[in-house]
Amino acid sequence: DGGITQSPKYLFRKEGQNVTLSCEQNLNHDAMYWYRQDPGQGLRLIYYSQIVNDFQKGDIAEGYSVSREKKESFPLTVTSAQKNPTAFYLCASTPPIPGNEQFFGPGTRLTVL
């Protein structure tokens, strides 16, 4: 079945450590996105990528980094520079069709202790 995989579902890290969240899709979509969700709030865009080896900052990119070496993969690294990294992280993808909906993964809940 086609879809988006995010691993792990729950992730715990100590303060000051970098951590990488995985996002893989087999939908053959060109565009991929990372969102952050805090309790009681909507989703905010961290980074997005339209094609391989290209990505753009979203609204809250500070303290995060990404790579897009393969079409299927768009990992997100939460660095120690991110002041408040505890949140729910969602990855999404979409084909290059105007107005097409984004397809979301199951999310990773990151807790920094």
Residues that bind another protein (CB under 8 A): 31, 33, 40-45, 48, 50, 56, 58, 88, 90, 92, 94, 96, 98-107, 109
Nearer to another protein, 45 or 80 (CB): 45
Rounding to the nearest 10 degrees, give the CA dihedral for residues 96, 97, 101, 107.
Answer: -10
Nearer to another protein, 79 or 88 (CB): 88
CB of 3 to another protein, least distance (A): 10
CB of 80 to another protein, least distance (A): 25
DSSP 3-66: -EEEE-SEEEE-TT--EEEEEEE-S--SEEEEEEE-TT--EEEEEEESSTT--EE-TT-TTEEE
CB of 45 to another protein, least distance (A): 6
Nearer to another protein, 9 or 14 (CB): 9
